[in-house]
Structure 1
Amino acid sequence: MNFRKLCKNIPSRIFLLVVFMTLGTVVSVAQEIKEDYVKFGGALRYNIYDKSWTDDKTDPQFAWDTWRLNVDARTSGVDLSFEYRFYPGDDTHFLHHGYLGYAFNENLYMKLGVTQVPFGIGKYASHCWWFQMPYYIGLEDDYDAGITFEYKGIKNLILDVAYFRQAEPQGSPNFSARYSYDITSSDDASIKELNQFNIRAAYQLTKNVELGVSGQVGQNYNTVLEEAESSTAFAGHVVANFGKFNFKGEYIRYDYGAKDNLGNTLDKVQMGAYSYDYNVAAKADVYVAGLAYSMDVEFGPISNVQAYVDYSIIDKRKAGFKSSQHLIPGFLITAGSIYTYVDWAFGKNNAWLGAWTDGLAEGSPDADWENRFNVNIGYYF
C-alpha cells in the first residue's frame, strides 16, 4: 500500500465517508433537540498491594493510585467529553480523552479529538482492574487523536470507522506520559505513530451474543530516515451473556513494522505510557479469554459482587522470543459509587509483573511466574 499517496487523499476520503454515511441515513427520523448542560465529575482511587519479585521490606503498601477530573457538556447539539488524570505515585499527569461529539441523526455519531480507538472488544476486553495483555501493547482501551464515526443504520450491526493522525498528546513529565500505550522514540529508533485507519463491525447475533471483527492499518514513521513502515492489526471477538455469566474472547494478530535510525527492520519496538517505556515484540498473535459471574447481594452498602478470571497470552512470531502470559483471578465489589477490585495477578515474561524491559519482547526461557496481590478502591462522583 502506498501510504504517502493515501495520506494526501485523507481530507477527500473523510469527506466522502461522511457524505456516504449521512446519505445512508437521510430517511431517519430527525433527532430530538436536547437541552444544554454542564456536568462535573471525577474519581479518587487507592491501591493496597504486595509484590513477589522484590525484597522491599515495606510491602504490603497502601498507595494513592489516581485522581481525575471529568467534564461532560452539551451546547447547541454539540457534545463535549473531557477527562484529565493525575498519578501522584508516578509523578505524572495526562489527558485521558477529550473530544467534541455530534449526532447527524439517530444512526450516525461523530467524535473529533482524543477518542477511544475502535478495535476489538469495546469498551474493555477485561473484567479485572489490570486489563488484559492487549492493553499493554496498545490494542485495548487505546486513545489517539483523530475523528471517529459510529453508524447504527443496519439492523443488529454497529459499524465504527476512524482516522487518527497521531497518538494522544504528551503529558508530564516526558513523552511517554500518557494513558494508553503507543510506540515511542528510543535512542536508536526515532519513531512515532501516524495516519492510522480503523474499522470495526460488531454484530448482535442474538440478544446475548455479539460477534465482531476489527482492522487497523497505519504508519510507524522514522523522523531520522523520513520514512514510514506499515503497521497493521486485525482482531475477531465474541462477547456472550448467559444468565449471570459473561464471557469475553478475542484473537489478535499484529505487525508493528518499524525501522531503526540506520534502516534496520526492528524485531521489537519501544512502547510507553504512564511516563514509563519498555520493549514489545514487533509481531505476535494474542489470545484473550475472560469469564465472570455476577451476584446481587444485600450486605450493608454492597449491592453486587462479580467474580472473574481473565487470561491472555502473547505468542511472539520471532524465533527465540518467549511468550508472555497474564492470569488474573479476582472479584469486583460494588457499593453505590464505590468500586473495589480485589485481584491476585500472575504473570510470566510480563512487564508489569516482574519482567520490565524485555519481558514483552524476547522474554526469558527461565522466567518464573511472578504475582502481585492488589486491592484497588475507587470512589466515582
Structure 2
Amino acid sequence: MFFLLASLLLAFPSTGTELPHLKFNGFLRFNYNYSDWKEGSKKRGGDFGYDLFKLGVAGSYKKILLDVDFRFYAKPSGGAMLKSGWIGYKFNARHQLQAGLTRVPFGIQPYGAHNYFFQIAYYLGLEDDSDMGIKYLYAGDRWEYAFAFFKNSEEELFGSDSETAGDRYSYDVAGRNKEVNQFNGQAFYKWGDETRQKIGASAEFGMLYNLDTEKNGTHYAFAVHHELYWKGLSLKTQISTYAMYPKNKPGESRDIVTMTAFNAPYEVAAKANIYSVSAGYTIPFSKGIVNSIQFYNDFGWMQKWDKSFHDSFQNVTGCLITAGPVLCYVDYAQGLHQPWFGPDWNAFGAGTGSNAWHARFNISLGYYF
C-alpha cells in the first residue's frame, strides 16, 4: 500500500504552477431526546443539548484525491475522532483507488435507512463502517463494484496487548479480540430512468485476533439488497447474515463478542441474521423557507442464531425537514432488546433484560455547509 502511494506521488511531481484544490464542508448539530425508560428524562420533559460538530475536507491535485471527515462529539461519547479519511487516485471517471480509513463496501450505500439513527445493522458494525485499508471502486452506467482489503479497524494503540479503543464512530469488535486481515467485495446492477432500481450483493471475510490465546479466529458476513426510487418514493430492503468465531481462552463464551463505539462497549450475539425494510416519501415545496419534507418508516430485525437469546428489533417513524442548509430530523424510535432504545445495554447479546418495547422521541437540528 505504501509503495503504491509513493509511486503515485512520484508519477505526478509538483511543477510549481498547480496547487491542490480544497473544499471544506461540515455541520453543527443539536439534539433533543425524550427516553421513556429514563425516569430523569421523563420528569424533566426530555433534554436538549450539543450533538456534534463535523469538519470535512475534499481535495484534489491532478488525479490525486483527498477526503476527510473529522468529528467533535462530547467527551463522554468519545470526543474528537476521525470518522473517515483517505488518499485516493482517480484513474478516470469510472475507476478509483482509495487508501486509509475508508468506508467498508458492505450493504446499501451509503445508508440503509432514512432516519437519524440509521438501520439496526449500523449497531452491529455492518453499516456506515470505515476501516484501515485499501479499496478499488468502479462506477459504470449499469454496473458498480468494489473490492477492498482492510488490515484492521481504526487503530490508535500499537502495543502488543492493546485492546481496540472505544473513541470511534463505527462499531468494531473490541475487548480481547481485534478485527484483522479483512476482505470485502460488493457489486450493484442499476437500471431505469423514471423508476430507478438498484440490486446488489456484498461479501466480507476476515480474522479475529485474540490477545489472550494469540490465535486467529474468523468472521464473515453476506448480504443481498435492493433499492427502488420512483418520483418521491424511496424503498430500501436488505437481508444479511454474519457469524464470528473467536478463539477465546478456555472458559470464555464464544457465543457473544464485545463491540464498541462512542466509548460505550456492549455485548453482541456472535451469529445472527438481519432483515431491514426502509420506506420514505418526499414532498417538495415551492414556497416558503421549507424545501421538502421526507416522511419515512424504517424497520430492522436482528434474528440471533442462538435460540436461547431474544431477538432484537427497532422501528423508527419520522420525517426529515429541509430548509436550505438547515436539516431537522424528527424521529419516534422504538426498540425491543435494542440498547440505544431501552434500559438493557447488552441487549444485542442474550437480550434477557426487559421484554417490553421502549421508545425515544428525538429531534436533531443541524446547519450544514
State TM-score, norm by structure 1: 0.86
Deviation at 1:89, TM superposition (A): 6.2
Deviation at 1:264, TM superposition (A): 4.8
Residue in 1 that maps onto 2:80? 93
How do 1:110-189 and structure 2 match up within 5 A? 110-152=97-139, 156-170=142-156, 175-185=165-175
Deviations 1:148-179 (A, max 9, x none): 000235x51101000000001349xx811101
Residue in 2 that maps onto 1:7? none
The CA distance in 2 between the partners of 1:129 and 1:143, in whole Å, is: 18
Q: 2:34 aligns with which of 50, 54, 59?
A: 50
The answer on 1:311 being equivalent to 2:299 is yes
Deviations 1:293-315 (A, max 9, x none): 00001453110000000000000
Q: 1:225 aligns with which of 201, 207, 213?
A: 213
How do 1:47-86 and structure 2 match up within 5 A? 47-56=31-40, 57-86=43-72
The CA distance in 2 between the partners of 1:339 and 1:90, in whole Å, is: 25
Residue in 2 that maps onto 1:294? 282
1:51/1:59 contact within 8 Å kept: no
2:337/2:354 contact within 8 Å kept: no
The CA distance in 2 between the partners of 1:209 and 1:39, in whole Å, is: 31
The CA distance in 2 between the partners of 1:275 and 1:59, in whole Å, is: 26
Deviation at 1:35, TM superposition (A): 7.7
What is the letter of the counterpart of residue 36 of structure 2?
S
Identify if the C-alpha distance between structure 1 residues 138 and 106 changes in structure 2 by more than 3 Å, giving closer, same or farther: same
1:117/1:142 contact within 8 Å kept: yes
2:198/2:228 contact within 8 Å kept: yes
Deviation at 1:262, TM superposition (A): 2.8
The CA distance in 2 between the partners of 1:286 and 1:50, in whole Å, is: 27
Q: Is the partner of 1:262 in helix, strand or coil?
A: coil
Residue in 1 that maps onto 2:12? none
Count of paired positions: 344
What is the letter of the counterpart of residue 55 of structure 2?
L
Deviation at 1:226, TM superposition (A): 1.2
5+ unaligned residues in a row in structure 2: which ranges?
5-17, 158-163
What is the letter of the counterpart of residue 35 of structure 2?
K
Residue in 2 that maps onto 1:321? 309
Residue in 2 that maps onto 1:343? 331
1:64/1:89 contact within 8 Å kept: no
Q: Is the partner of 1:362 in helix, strand or coil?
A: coil
Deviations 1:203-240 (A, max 9, x none): 11434111000000001110221111110000000000
What is the letter of the counterpart of residue 177 of structure 1?
D
The answer on 1:200 being equivalent to 2:200 is no
Q: 1:282 aligns with which of 249, 270, 274?
A: 270
What is the letter of the counterpart of residue 115 of structure 1?
T
Deviation at 1:242, TM superposition (A): 2.0
5+ unaligned residues in a row in structure 1: which ranges?
1-10, 16-33
Identify if the C-alpha distance between structure 1 residues 366 and 71 changes in structure 2 by more than 3 Å, giving closer, same or farther: closer
Residue in 2 that maps onto 1:6? none
Q: Is the partner of 1:127 in helix, strand or coil?
A: coil
State TM-score, norm by structure 2: 0.89
Deviation at 1:90, TM superposition (A): 2.9
